[in-house]
Chains A and B, each alone.
Chain A
Amino acid sequence: DAKTTQPPSMDCAEGRAANLPCNHSTISGNEYVYWYRQIHSQGPQYIIHGLKNNETNEMASLIITEDRKSSTLILPHATLRDTAVYYCIVRAPTPTGNMLTFGGGTRLMVKP
């Protein structure tokens, strides 16, 4: 699996967009970028994933650079409930499974 690099922590004002960067310069052509988050004391929660095109769902947007060496998760209007540790994971899904390798993640603190 490609190694990812994320800032250990970030702050964001409530109501503003939170932009969480991830560097994955050694990503391979068949590897996807996944984002999960873990809110305190809960299990990790899937947010979004993509291969090379930008993706958007009801939770967030994922912007992947053209060379695929980095990506940004965007929470368009952060709320206090978005305070969590966000994990960027790069993985090539196998035909029968897709184990996740969690790193340290980015601890996002949304402040009022």
Chain B
Amino acid sequence: EAGVTQFPSHSVIEKGQTVTLRCDPISGHDNLYWYRRVMGKEIKFLLHFVKESKQDESGMPNNRFLAERTGGTYSTLKVQPAELEDSGVYFCASSQRHTYEQYFGPGTRLTVT
């Protein structure tokens, strides 16, 4: 069974540009989460999808971040315009509806210069 995949593994962009991160959850997992770790800080929750619906987006830092999960399969996280403080590692995780373990992807390292 394939695990959670994320693309790209690393992205370097300039301040003010736009970047879109993609996450492909484990097949059949209705729950999809985004987290991030910015430099020197702890891993923080961003938002949670159940299928295509946003269940909780309380962790989204501001309106420069937009997450979508069309069709309830893969998800994208767009940052527009990117700022220096957005640099960090963005993780995606998925879980089945009725189990509690979350399976994480390898992360996307975002560097904003």
Contacts and interface: CB of A to CB of B under 8 A. Distances in A.
Given A97-B31, A99-B33, A49 B101 contact: yes
Interface size range on B against A? 20 to 34
A43 B91 CA distance: 7
Nearest to A103: B42
Contacts of B33: 97, 99-100
Interface string A41-79: 011111001000000000000000000000000000000
Interface stretch (B13-21, B43-51, B64-72, B73-81): B43-51
A98 B95 contact: yes
Interface of A: 32, 34, 38, 42-46, 49, 93, 96-104
A97 B91 contact: no
B45 A99 contact: yes
B6 to A, nearest CB: 8
B93 A93 contact: no
B38 to A, nearest CB: 13
Contacts of A100: 33, 35, 43, 45, 93, 102
Contact of A97 (B42, B50, B101, B105): B50
B93 A43 contact: yes
Nearest to A49: B100
Contact of B55 (A34, A46, A97): A97
Contact of B106 (A43, A93, A96): A43
B100 A32 contact: yes
Contacts of B56: 97, 99
Contacts of A97: 31, 33, 48, 50, 55-56
Given A97-B55, A99-B56, A44 B45 contact: no
